[in-house]
């Protein structure tokens, strides 16, 4: 059935089905065309089932183009219709892309809740692939929040589930996602290892996954400044992406190759690659991609003594960022414009764009102040602003006419300093957190003990993983790290309100409770012991099993009994538990 040209005449049911099928078929390879066709379909009177599919197709295409704000209402409409129709598969897909849109708009907490729904729905549908994808997306949401321990935990869960279910194709996807996550954390050697493992998994021909693995390897080589190897991997990725017809990804690879060319001194080749990428991104309607490419192009032109062309590229990027409401990208563009205008001696324009950068940077911080990733971005912005302020003080008398405006912005700088103080407070909080498990560390535990007051009844439980050295020796330290993460999560799941669980050191954890008697302390210790013993450790590594020994002490603090006395008693109880054969709880009165 041919696709009709654009006019206002009603379409027949067969034409609507043909157009909707075409929009669905090209949604990945050509999202711009998919969006165009979906909008044509939505202009027609539709049954609810067609309306749900067309709305999803439009939302999916907009999300693939980076237009997440526009995609969200379409995905919400598809989600509502799927609920009424009982179409659980399309409901799952709508939820998945809604979560992507939420995460990309800087709302990772909402995205996390959405991805958890996707995981539960996938499990109910018996869709293991969907469940693994949901785990990877949960990891992405945690990454956006800067919570790398939880992000890595979910990436590893996705990988473990794919191997447990013997799904090599899904295992490749999980390894690809893991490699990308390592790149994001700048753990480039680990990223290379995961990418190589992805390419080694034996599956049927899948050029899309081959391309992603090669791209991840290229990104890792680039991060390691191994530009020749990066170029080789990017060229392989481009061949695979061209086979799939994925123009969005092909454009992205052109940008990566351009960045390599720039680092290798091949400026003309880099410029051609950036311009080729822009052509593809304009064709697919990828505003975010165009903005990022223009930033790279402007950097190249600026270092090639072509400031006017660089300014033109940056102003194009600024227009695209404004049209797409891409606030993060707009912030970067204003900062780049400020630096380039200052370089060319146009100080008034430099100041105006610096002021815009500072204002938008502050708004972004305020909108997501509870996210560690956003805090780090603000920290970078503040440092950059301070460098700019110091440079401004060194400017000659040509800047005297701007003194009044600088005075007007002093209150903005004071607000930035207040944000910096808040960030330092957050960094202090991070100093009290164990990076591997996410639990409070020894320092936080000691501070908590110091806050206990005389007269309080205190229970301290020391928990030590039995034969942990053997786990490291037999299965590797990577497995040992994963064991520590999972033990921490299992223990944390048993806490009551007011309890404090910390990593005490090595394979040892410590629990502090108040107003808990001897019998209750013993019961809690037994619950913790059984939780670790009964957990299915084969998901971490086949043949792995694990137990813990616990030593507890209970006392009321007074002039004759200190916290240190309780700790010594708990330590003695732990040694007693181990000497009695391990995998047990021993308790002492301090």
- The domain segmentation of the chain, as residue ranges, is 442-589
**pLDDT over 50 (residue 286):** yes
Answer whether residue 379 shows pLDDT above 70: no
pLDDT at 214 over 90: yes
Which band of pLDDT confidence, cut at 50, 70 and 90, is reported for residue 397?
low
Nearest 5°: phi and psi at 530? -65, -35
Helix (H) or strand (E) holding 62, with range, is: helix 48-64
Residue 54: partners with Cβ closer than 8 Å, 6 or more residues away: 20, 23, 38, 41, 42, 46
- Tell me 496's DSSP state: P
> Which bin fits 246, alpha (ψ -120 to 50), beta or left (φ > 0)?
beta
Handedness of CA 491, 493, 499, 501 (dihedral sign): positive
Determine contact, residues 134/115, Cβ cutoff 8 Å.
yes
Q: What is the pTM of this model?
A: 0.53
More confident residue, 387 or 409: 409
Average pLDDT over residues 236-254: 88
pLDDT at res. 512: 95
- Across the range 304-331, mean pLDDT stands at 90
pLDDT at 380 over 60: no
**pLDDT of the residue at 394:** 59
What is the CA angle 397-355-184, rounded to 5?
Answer: 125
Percent of the chain at pLDDT > 90 equals 55
Over range 388-403, report the average pLDDT.
57
| Mean pLDDT rounded to a whole number for the chain | 87
Q: How confident is the model at residue 406 (pLDDT cuts 50, 70, 90)?
A: low
At the top level of CATH, the class of 442-589 is: alpha beta
Structural contact between residues 157 and 489, judged by C-beta atoms closer than 8 angstroms: no
CA atoms in the 13 A half-sphere facing the CB of 384: 19
Question: Distance (Å, rounded) from C-alpha 555 to C-alpha 558?
Answer: 9
Average pLDDT over residues 361-381: 54
Contacts of 411 (CB under 8 A, 6+ apart): none
How far apart CA 163 and CA 382 sit, in angstroms, is: 45
Q: Is the dihedral of CA 19, 22, 24, 28 positive or negative?
A: negative
Secondary structure element (H or E) that encloses residue 291, with its range: helix 287-303
* pLDDT (0 to 100) of residue 381: 39
- Residue 326: helix, strand or coil by DSSP? coil
């Amino acid at each position: 059935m041919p696709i009709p040209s654009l006019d206002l005449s009603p379409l027949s049911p067969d034409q609507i089905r043909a157009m909707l099928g075409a929009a669905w078929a090209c949604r990945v390879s050509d999202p711009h065309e998919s969006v165009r066709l979906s909008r044509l379909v939505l202009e027609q009177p539709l049954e609810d089932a067609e309306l749900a599919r067309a709305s999803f197709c439009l939302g999916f295409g907009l999300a693939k183009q980076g237009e997440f704000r526009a995609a969200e209402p379409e995905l919400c409409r598809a989600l509502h219709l799927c609920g009424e129709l009982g179409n659980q598969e399309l409901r799952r897909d709508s939820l998945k892309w809604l979560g992507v849109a939420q995460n990309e708009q800087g709302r990772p907490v909402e995205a996390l809740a959405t991805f958890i729904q996707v995981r539960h729905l996938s499990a109910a549908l018996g869709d293991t692939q969907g469940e693994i994808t949901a785990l990877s997306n949960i990891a992405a949401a945690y990454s956006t929040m800067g919570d790398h321990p939880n992000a890595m935990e979910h990436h590893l869960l996705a990988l473990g589930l794919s191997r447990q279910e013997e799904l090599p194709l899904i295992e490749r996807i999980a390894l690809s996602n893991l490699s990308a996550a390592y790149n994001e954390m700048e753990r480039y050697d680990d990223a290379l290892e995961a990418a190589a493992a992805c390419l080694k998994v034996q599956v049927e021909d899948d050029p899309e996954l081959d391309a992603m693995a090669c791209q991840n390897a290229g990104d890792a080589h680039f991060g390691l400044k191994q530009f020749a190897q990066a170029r080789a991997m990017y060229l392989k990725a481009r061949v695979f992406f061209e086979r799939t017809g994925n123009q969005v990804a092909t454009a992205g690879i052109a940008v990566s190759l351009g960045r390599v060319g720039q680092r290798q001194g091949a400026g003309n080749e880099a410029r051609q690659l950036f311009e080729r990428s822009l052509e593809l991104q304009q064709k697919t309607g990828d505003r975010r991609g165009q903005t990022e490419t223009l930033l790279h192009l402007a950097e190249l032109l600026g270092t090639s003594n072509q400031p006017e062309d660089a300014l033109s590229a940056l102003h194009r990027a600024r227009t695209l960022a404004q049209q797409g409401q891409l606030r993060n990208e707009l912030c970067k563009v204003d900062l780049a414009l400020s630096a380039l205008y200052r370089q060319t001696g146009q100080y008034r324009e430099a100041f105006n764009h610096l002021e815009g950068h500072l204002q938008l940077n502050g708004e972004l911080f305020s909108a997501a102040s509870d996210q560690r990733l956003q805090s780090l971005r603000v920290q970078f912005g503040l440092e950059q602003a301070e460098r700019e302020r110091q440079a401004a003080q060194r400017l000659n008398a040509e800047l005297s006419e701007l003194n009044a405006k600088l005075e007007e912005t002093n209150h903005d700088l004071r607000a930035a300093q207040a944000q910096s103080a808040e960030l330092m407070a957050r960094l202090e909080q991070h100093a009290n957190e164990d990076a591997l498990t996410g639990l409070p560390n020894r320092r936080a535990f000691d501070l908590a003990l110091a806050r206990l007051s005389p007269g309080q009844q205190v229970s301290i439980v020391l928990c030590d993983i039995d034969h942990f050295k053997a786990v490291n020796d037999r299965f590797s330290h990577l497995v040992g790290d994963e064991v520590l993460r999972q033990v921490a999560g299992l223990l944390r799941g048993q806490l009551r309100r007011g309890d404090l669980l910390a990593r005490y050191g090595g394979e040892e954890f410590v629990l502090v409770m108040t107003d808990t008697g001897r019998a209750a302390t013993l019961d809690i210790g037994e619950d913790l012991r059984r939780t670790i013993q009964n957990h299915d450790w084969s998901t971490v590594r086949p043949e792995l099993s694990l137990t813990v020994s616990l030593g507890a002490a209970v006392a009321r603090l007074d002039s004759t009994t200190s916290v240190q006395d309780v700790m010594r008693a708990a330590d003695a109880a732990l040694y007693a538990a181990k000497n009695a054969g391990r995998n047990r709880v021993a308790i002492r009165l301090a």
